Amino acid sequence: LESTLAKVTRVDVVGKEEDKVSYANITLVSDIDRDIPESKIKYDNKYALIIGNEDYMSYQSNLSKEQNVQFAISDARSFKEYCEKTFGIPASNITYITNGTLGQMRQGIAQMNTLLKKSTGNLDIYFYYAGHGAPDELSKEPYLIPVNVSGSKVQDGIKLKEVYNALTEFGSTKVTMFVDACFSGGARNQELAATRSIKLVPKADMLKGNIVSFSASSGTQSSYAYSAKNHGMFTYFLLKSIQESNGDINYKDMWDKVNSKVSFESVRVNKVEQDPQKNVGIDVEKIWEQWKFK
């Protein structure tokens, strides 16, 4: 592994570097970050929105460092590399947000929705999120939590259903979502709301449209890191399955490998159960398994 003194920046949805920067010793390189398969073709109809929310403590004074999401930015950065190199997505078609605030995340989601609205239904969309998720304690609705939203006020975050709706409101070739978060009230290090002692089973949505969503865990489970690999357990095995196949793998084979590996390795490495979950839009129930990344 390589350890470097890296400059860490937050980037907004139009790609401008903000004034505030910090420095940290970061160990990033894992085996999935080397020898990334490369596509010779760039696909102008492919777009991606990638969000890695790791540093919640810097935005909320009542949090401890343990309540950050370990390796979330490393996960997002690596997924971005695979989008560009393996999936053939032009760099200009990728919106990449680290430590996203509520405004930045909403702007990124709205941008994807508008692109779909203005297209002729031929866009291929990827959505990736690593960070905190949490359920509303009354409705059990799952929320994505921006870095400036308190875990005790999850309603101020972004409903996962809102993301689904934004990406399926208008026609598309396909929409693929990867969510390395959990929605039971737990997290890689600690739950965001330290006072929540009971985990909840998040409400499941029935999806419409050409969409498949893959999540890191299910039920009351938490989503954990694979510390030896400097990634989330789910993201590591997702990218590993793509790397080992040179990018030439259909969604069924990818899902079978990821589901099996995460379920087993989480018990072996972290001594806890973590079983990934998929949710398939009713319009593609019979065809999603044969979709490919390139």
Report which of 84, 103, 79, 78 is spatially closest to residue 26, judged by C-alpha positions. Answer: 78
Question: Which residues lie across from 196 on neighbouring strands?
Answer: none
d(CA 105, CA 235): 20
Per-residue pLDDT of the chain (294 residues; tens, 9 = 90+): 333 333 333 344 444 443 333 333 344 579 999 999 999 999 999 999 999 999 999 999 888 888 899 999 999 999 999 999 999 999 999 999 999 999 999 999 999 999 999 999 999 999 999 999 988 888 889 999 999 999 889 999 999 999 999 999 999 999 999 999 988 766 566 666 533 334 556 567 779 999 999 999 987 888 999 999 999 999 999 999 999 999 999 999 999 999 999 999 999 999 999 999 999 999 999 999 999 998
Residue entry with tokens 């990736």: 128
- At 65, which amino acid appears? K
* Listed residue (262, 283, 92) closest to 175, CA to CA: 283
Full-model pTM: 0.88
Structure tokens at 193: 């709301």
State which H helix or E strand residue 70 sits in.
Answer: none
Q: d(Cα 147, Cα 59) in Å, to the nearest integer? A: 6
Run of H or E residues at 4:
strand 3-11
No. of H helices and E strands in the chain?
5, 13
* Cα(247)–Cα(239) distance, integer angstroms: 9
What's the rounded Cα separation, in Å, for the pair 156 and 246?
40
CA-based radius of gyration for the chain: 18
Q: Are 80 and 123 in contact (CB under 8 A)?
A: no
Maximum pairwise Cα distance, the chain: 50
